[in-house]
Structure 1
């Protein structure tokens, strides 16, 4: 089966501090910002589910929503591994948090091919893992085509709108790590991207807590999302450089300020990499290079 995937975008060496994106974009966006801060006034999109389709190439199975855009992937010989680089970077919260404590709760908004959900469930034996997915066909695909197991005491897959999850008072301060990957069939901008949504994401986080989010750098949605995430998280945002297929992962922090040497983060990366086989050393290198004014120490 021929694989159709996102166009290849060569990574450009850049220094993309979230604060610079915020400052550069604010002037153009202020006029369009909705002055109503009450999230009950948010315009809601009616669900329009695209068909869930698949392709395979070179031993990798891909998830699509009826278009050429890749929505997730699984290497058939390593079904519990995280195949795509941007999805691996979604796990960079491991540099700042340890999921080996009781009651640690990881939530995924947008199931995709279930790579992150499966990985967290398998890797962190003491953690509770929740995935929130609106499209029931994606949940069926996760279980029938991508090896997602049935729910148990630690794993919960909820057929629910991500908006409803973050707005539910029961979710307040209930999540240690929030992983956000909410795209529709066109795979351009996140389907939930308002300041109110990002503020609600912050409210569900414990103290400390970390949100990682997948953004599409080669699209007009990117700068406005950086502005809104910075607004919601008081500028406590880091970004990775763009990867080859255009994705940019951002991390936003809730809780006490972080002031840590890069050497300490490198030591932590060694531990993470040894335990998970994720490229944590590369994460530290890229975060240090991509965020201005963070060359000597990470202070955020």
Structure 2
């Protein structure tokens, strides 16, 4: 059965709904390429963890309103993007209502099941973003140990997986445990943002060891170049005890 999809607009923001209560994506009409929802900005925290021009190849599982794809497309012009979306309606709506670019050379949309795609042999990615939910807010097979293991297998050595978890859901602890197991402990859960979404990261063969000053400098550069403010993440990491001697270490 096809998913019931709604588009609404309020106070200059266009919303994508899978139900009246469940917001799947958002776009500020005057800033269509900006990351309107806080959790999408948190997912881009991976840009603080690697030296530019990383990433070159990106995979996004779950298109939604296209926020991540649009931001990467506009602000990281050397990056190629593959998006896997199970519902063909979503691609049409993202192009009609959310200004998703039509550029198959840099932004390739694959209509299919994300778990099936990850199990197939294929290219490795520098960054994998997982943000797929059904109309009830369930990730289903995209939140299983085999899926996370498949993601790890498709990462380059410097690759990072970024997963959107619903931090206030009953299965949150089990989700983080599965990610940790799939990545042999080379994983980190970022402090939850106000919406209740929590972002977890897993690394490829090369872990992460980055000093707070490096992250702050990258945050400054990103704010100047891309208009994204990732500075609020830094005190959250400190307050949550995620730093050791002012270093963020994963792996």
Q: Secondary structure at the match of 2:203?
A: strand
Greater C-alpha Rg? 1
Tell me, yes or no, if structure 1 residue 223 matches structure 2 residue 173.
yes
Instruction: Tell me how far 1:130 sits from its aligned partner.
Output: 1.1
Contact 2:62–2:84 (Cα < 8 Å) also in 1:
yes
List gaps (5 residues or longer) in structure 1: 1-47
CA distance in 2, matches of 1:188, 1:197: 15
Q: Secondary structure at the match of 1:228?
A: helix
1:269-284 equivalence runs, <5 A:
269-284=219-234
Cα RMSD, aligned residues only: 1.8
Q: TM-score, normalised by structure 1?
A: 0.78
The counterpart of 1:146, out of the listed 63, 76, 98, is 98
Tell me, yes or no, if structure 1 residue 116 matches structure 2 residue 82.
no
Instruction: Tell me how far 1:261 sits from its aligned partner.
Output: 2.1
1:1-300 equivalence runs, <5 A:
48-98=1-51, 100=53, 104-171=56-123, 174-189=124-139, 191-292=141-242, 294=244, 296-300=246-250
Contact 1:182–1:191 (Cα < 8 Å) also in 2:
no
List gaps (5 residues or longer) in structure 2: none
Q: Secondary structure at the match of 2:231?
A: helix
Instruction: Tell me how far 1:188 sits from its aligned partner.
Output: 4.4
Structure in which a larger fraction of residues adopt strand: 2
Instruction: Tell me how far 1:272 sits from its aligned partner.
Output: 2.1
Contact 1:195–1:229 (Cα < 8 Å) also in 2:
yes
Q: Which has the higher contact order (CA 8 A, sep 6+)?
A: 1
In terms of mean alpha carbon deviation, does 237-246 or 104-113 score higher? 237-246
CA distance in 2, matches of 1:208, 1:285: 25
* Segments of 4+ moved more than 6 angstroms: none
CA distance in 2, matches of 1:293, 1:264: 13
The verdict on how the C-alpha distance between 1:117 and 1:293 changes in structure 2, with shifts beyond 3 A counting, is closer
In terms of mean alpha carbon deviation, does 278-287 or 176-185 score higher? 278-287
1:14 corresponds to: none
Paired residues in the alignment total 250
CA distance in 1, matches of 2:217, 2:52: 17
Instruction: Tell me how far 1:204 sits from its aligned partner.
Output: 0.8
1:35 corresponds to: none
The verdict on how the C-alpha distance between 1:99 and 1:292 changes in structure 2, with shifts beyond 3 A counting, is closer
CA distance in 1, matches of 2:189, 2:3: 30
CA distance in 2, matches of 1:108, 1:63: 18
CA distance in 1, matches of 2:177, 2:26: 29
Instruction: Tell me how far 1:190 sits from its aligned partner.
Output: 5.0
Contact 2:176–2:189 (Cα < 8 Å) also in 1:
no
